[in-house]
């Protein structure tokens, strides 16, 4: 399965990432199928990324699954929605939505335990 992920480059405290299409089994910073652009979170606003929108859309259309960070980057860049194969949402988008909509755990009632 092909995934869209970020590969970290840059120095300590100065991150720089490349967006890549890679086989899921390859290491995070290992061999890639195709480089799709770059992302620099420390750059000034407006110069933080350069992505090949046409190729990103192609990989999404053939079923590549973007990581959660790539999904947020694509939303910021307004390149593509996170649709995977056959019009279904990508798994990372499904998991992110499930985490957002999960019920919050109530705080333990410490005062009730002390009163007993």
Per-residue pLDDT tens for 85-112? 445 566 667 777 778 888 877 777 666 6
pLDDT digits (tens, 9 = 90+) for 41-90: 998 888 888 999 899 989 988 888 888 888 888 888 888 665 544 455 66
The domain segmentation of the chain, as residue ranges, is: 2-93
Residue with tokens 């985490």: 99
| Whether the predicted model's global pTM rises above the 0.75 cut | no
Q: How confident is the model at residue 111, as a pLDDT?
A: 61
Fold of 2-93: S16 Ribosomal Protein; Chain: A; (3.30.1320)
Output the 3-class SS for 26-78. CCCCCCCCEEEEEECCCCCCCCCEEECHHHHHHHHHCCCEECHHHHHHHHHHC
Q: Is the pLDDT of residue 3 over 80?
A: yes
């Amino acid at each position: 399965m092909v995934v869209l992920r970020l590969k970290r480059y840059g120095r300590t405290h100065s991150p720089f990432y490349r967006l890549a299409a890679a086989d899921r089994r390859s290491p995070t910073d290992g061999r890639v199928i195709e480089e799709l652009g770059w992302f620099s979170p420390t750059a000034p606003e407006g110069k933080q990324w350069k992505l090949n929108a046409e190729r990103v859309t192609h990989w999404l259309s053939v079923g590549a699954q973007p990581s959660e960070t790539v999904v947020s980057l694509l939303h910021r860049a307004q390149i593509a929605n996170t649709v995977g194969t056959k019009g279904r949402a990508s798994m990372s988008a499904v998991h992110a939505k499930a985490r957002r909509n999960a019920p919050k755990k109530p705080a333990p009632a410490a005062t009730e335990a002390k009163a007993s």
